[in-house]
Chain A
Amino acid sequence: MQREGSPWTGLWAVAAKEAADHLTSARMKIVLGLVILTAIGAAYGSAGQLKETVGSDPFLFLRLFTTAREPLPSFAGFLGFLLPLVAITLAFDAINGEYQRRTMSRVLSQPIYRDALLAGKFLGGLVVLTICVITLWLLVTGVGILSLGLPPSGEEVARGIAFLVVSVAYSAIWLGIALLFSTWFRSTATAALAALALWLLFTVFWQMLAPLVAGALAPVDPLDPMTALTQYNLQHDLMRISPTTLYGEMLTGILHPSTRALGLLFRSQMEGALMGAPLPLDQSLLIIWPDFSGLVAGIVLVFTLAYVSFQRQEVRA
């Protein structure tokens, strides 16, 4: 059936209101405070480590993101773990919260489509996440300049921007997941718990589970070396179901310019390569491209599921 008018009427009004809400909400301040403190801590840790160990690394600045000082994980590791938490905080009560506050029918009785409400909430969250990621990046850069005493090179800035894009995409899929749960579950507590359970599964347990599952599905025959390869590939594919794995791989590709492939590397692929020589940026981007497409496809899928579920919902609480 043909609908009159644009489905996006009111989109910006919703997005602006959501973003403003998030930026002033107490819960966001708490989570952001936590993330910023850990980020600064991690950056200082790695800066200290770098001063002790590395002499003349051409990408010293990028090392800030990935160097870990025991027992703390690296800045990148922190982000992989905490960005989902920020995204979940933003969206776990996006739709069901409107029912709970009994504002849904009032808002939907305005001349807008439901599309605008759902997309506006996603967009508003995305704006806040982008601000958040950029802030963190600037903080780390600031810490780097202060403690290492040198500014990032042009290539490092370019890779930093790639890092921003990838981080926003990674947060976006968690935003989508939280949004989906907020349409599926009428109780905000249930939606939050479900999202947090998935977060723990993907950020903590998946790395342990994937090898077990791969081992059970494709056992290695000691006489046939190909079975080992099959198992490894299966395990790698399983790992890549988790957005956290994809994010980690992409960060490796971007922040370690010498990365030549994500996964196993065969001798034939190394033919003529200088060991440890950095790749140009476009080559690095090519390496992470499949992972990035996968992540974006995931975002589209999750958002579509939320859309379908929300379109069919009764408006009354």
Chain B
Amino acid sequence: MSGAAKGDPVIEVRDLVKRYGGVEAVAGLDLTVNKGEVFGLLGPNGSGKTTMILILLGLTEPSEGEVRVTGLDPLRQPLAVKRAVGYLPDSVGFYDTMTARENLRYTARLAGLDTAEADARIDNALERVRLSDVAEKNVAGFSHGMRQRLGVAEVLVKDCPIAILDEPTNGLDPQSTTELLDLIRRLRDDGRTVLLSSHLLSLVQSICDRVALINHGRIGLTGSVDELRSRVLGGSYTIEVEAENVDIKTATAAIPGVAGFADLTPGHVRIRATADIRADVARHIVERGGRLTRIAMHQPSLDDVYQRYFEDQRTVEGQRAFKGASHAA
């Protein structure tokens, strides 16, 4: 690969549009993924994630716009792009009558690896996704989680600078999900750039350096999870306090950053704040002779951000539609 330094853009998408008939599956999308980061593409089903990924791989032609993967145009140099990218499709499938190893061998041959090199890499990859024991078993008996891991093994065998994973945790049980997220982290630790798509937000927020919220073929917001949180929710935190021998409200009202209260019981208060002010809250209560029994902060997850963001979108759109209708009337 080119000697791009960490932080250089490896995937660039400009004004991308893809129409199916009259429907815009991707409607003017801009995106930059930098070298060495884990980038999350988050959006509900049908928002255009898979379509964009297929365009990145040169498997679908864009209607408009420009795409560059490691500086290459997937339309004109599809083979070079496909050599640079390892791809795990959503609901990945394998040849059931072949063993796990045979399946990997086949794609390794398609990728142009020679047999000895491929075999060494396959052993390594299977070890890493913990499928060595079943390497010689037919894939027919594999669970969904095992297939997904085998898909990751294939990406490892291909050993590309970029890994694109489409809905990698879709349909997995919690334990398999954790395992897969671990594997993805290790992909990044090897120095790969990872682009993954998902509609499962809370899972992805734990591994993504940056996230783009996508809906109706458009990117709504891009940034780190923290940035998105403060931009959408205005940096709101909820701090739960339990204390005895003190009026929590009066004790903490003067702290800068407190935005409001909701009390549940006399000794149990929820403080809305614009920053993490747990230390201040504790100090103020203790200084007034209170006995602090519990203090906990509830940070809004990306789910909340996401829900809030698209709720707003929907309201705006609803209003627009309503205005349009009344205008016509």
Instruction: Judge whether B59 and A102 touch: CB under 8 Å.
Output: no
Instruction: Judge whether A10 and B110 touch: CB under 8 Å.
Output: yes
Q: Which listed residue, B75, B77, B87, B96, touches A106 by the CB 8 Å rule?
A: B87
Chain B stretch 52-101: residues in CB contact (< 8 A) with chain A: 54, 57, 59-60, 75-80, 82-83, 85, 87, 89, 91-98
Shortest distance between the CB of B51 and any CB in chain A (Å): 9
- A-chain residues with CB within 8 Å of residue B97 when the two chains form the complex: 21, 24-25
Shortest distance between the CB of A186 and any CB in chain B (Å): 15
Bound CA span A272–B221, Å: 91
Q: Which listed residue, B59, B80, B111, touches A108 by the CB 8 Å rule?
A: B59
B-contact bits for A275-317, CB 8 A (1 contact / 0 none): 0000000000000000000000000000000000000001110
Bound CA span A262–B86, Å: 57
Q: Is A269 an interface residue (CB 8 A)?
A: no
Count the A residues whose beta carbon is within 8 Å of the partner chain — how many?
Answer: 28
Instruction: Judge whether B79 and A106 touch: CB under 8 Å.
Output: no
A-contact bits for B106-119, CB 8 A (1 contact / 0 none): 11011110000000
Instruction: Judge whether A106 and B92 touch: CB under 8 Å.
Output: yes
Shortest distance between the CB of B24 and any CB in chain A (Å): 16
- A-chain residues with CB within 8 Å of residue B80 when the two chains form the complex: 4-5, 111
Residue of A nearest to B96 (CB): A101
Count the B residues whose beta carbon is within 8 Å of the partner chain — how many?
Answer: 33
Residue of A nearest to B107 (CB): A110
Instruction: Judge whether B76 and A13 touch: CB under 8 Å.
Output: no
Q: Chain A interface secondary structure, helix, strand, loop or mixed?
A: loop
Shortest distance between the CB of B21 and any CB in chain A (Å): 12
Q: Which listed residue, A25, A102, A109, touches B57 by the CB 8 Å rule?
A: A109
Instruction: Judge whether B109 and A13 touch: CB under 8 Å.
Output: yes
- A-chain residues with CB within 8 Å of residue B75 when the two chains form the complex: 1
Shortest distance between the CB of B49 and any CB in chain A (Å): 12
Shortest distance between the CB of A59 and any CB in chain B (Å): 45
Bound CA span A10–B112, Å: 7
Instruction: Judge whether B89 and A105 touch: CB under 8 Å.
Output: yes
Instruction: Judge whether B154 and A106 touch: CB under 8 Å.
Output: yes
Q: Which listed residue, A5, A17, A102, A112, touches B89 by the CB 8 Å rule?
A: A102
Q: Is A199 an interface residue (CB 8 A)?
A: no
Instruction: Judge whether A3 and B78 touch: CB under 8 Å.
Output: yes
Bound CA span A4–B80, Å: 8
Residue of B nearest to A13 (CB): B109
Instruction: Judge whether B82 and A103 touch: CB under 8 Å.
Output: no
B-contact bits for A46-77, CB 8 A (1 contact / 0 none): 00000000000000000000000000000000
Instruction: Judge whether A109 and B76 touch: CB under 8 Å.
Output: no
Instruction: Judge whether B59 and A106 touch: CB under 8 Å.
Output: no
Residue of A nearest to B20 (CB): A314
- A-chain residues with CB within 8 Å of residue B106 when the two chains form the complex: 13, 17
Q: Which listed residue, A3, A25, A101, A107, touches B110 by the CB 8 Å rule?
A: A107
Q: Which listed residue, B50, B60, B76, touches A3 by the CB 8 Å rule?
A: B76
- B-chain residues with CB within 8 Å of residue A2 when the two chains form the complex: 76
Instruction: Judge whether B112 and A9 touch: CB under 8 Å.
Output: yes
Instruction: Judge whether A111 and B112 touch: CB under 8 Å.
Output: yes
Q: Is A113 an interface residue (CB 8 A)?
A: yes
Instruction: Judge whether A316 and B54 touch: CB under 8 Å.
Output: yes
Residue of A nearest to B89 (CB): A105
Residue of B nearest to A97 (CB): B95
Residue of A nearest to B93 (CB): A102
Bound CA span A9–B109, Å: 10
A4-B80, A106-B87 known; A101 vs B111 contact (CB < 8 Å): no
Instruction: Judge whether B82 and A109 touch: CB under 8 Å.
Output: yes
Residue of A nearest to B86 (CB): A109
Instruction: Judge whether A112 and B110 touch: CB under 8 Å.
Output: yes
Q: Is B168 an interface residue (CB 8 A)?
A: no
Chain B stretch 278-304: residues in CB contact (< 8 A) with chain A: none
Instruction: Judge whether B110 and A110 touch: CB under 8 Å.
Output: yes
B-contact bits for A1-28, CB 8 A (1 contact / 0 none): 1111100011001100100010011000
Bound CA span A112–B113, Å: 13
Bound CA span A197–B82, Å: 40
Instruction: Judge whether A101 and B77 touch: CB under 8 Å.
Output: no
13 A–B contacts from the bound complex (CB under 8 Å): A4-B76, A4-B80, A13-B106, A17-B109, A21-B95, A24-B97, A101-B94, A102-B91, A103-B94, A110-B82, A110-B110, A110-B111, A113-B79
Sorted nearest first, the 10 A-B pairs with minimum C-beta distance are A102-B93, A110-B110, A109-B87, A13-B109, A5-B79, A105-B89, A111-B82, A111-B79, A101-B93, A111-B83
CB within 8 Å of A: which residues of B?
50, 54, 57, 59-60, 75-80, 82-83, 85, 87, 89, 91-98, 106-107, 109-112, 151, 154, 158
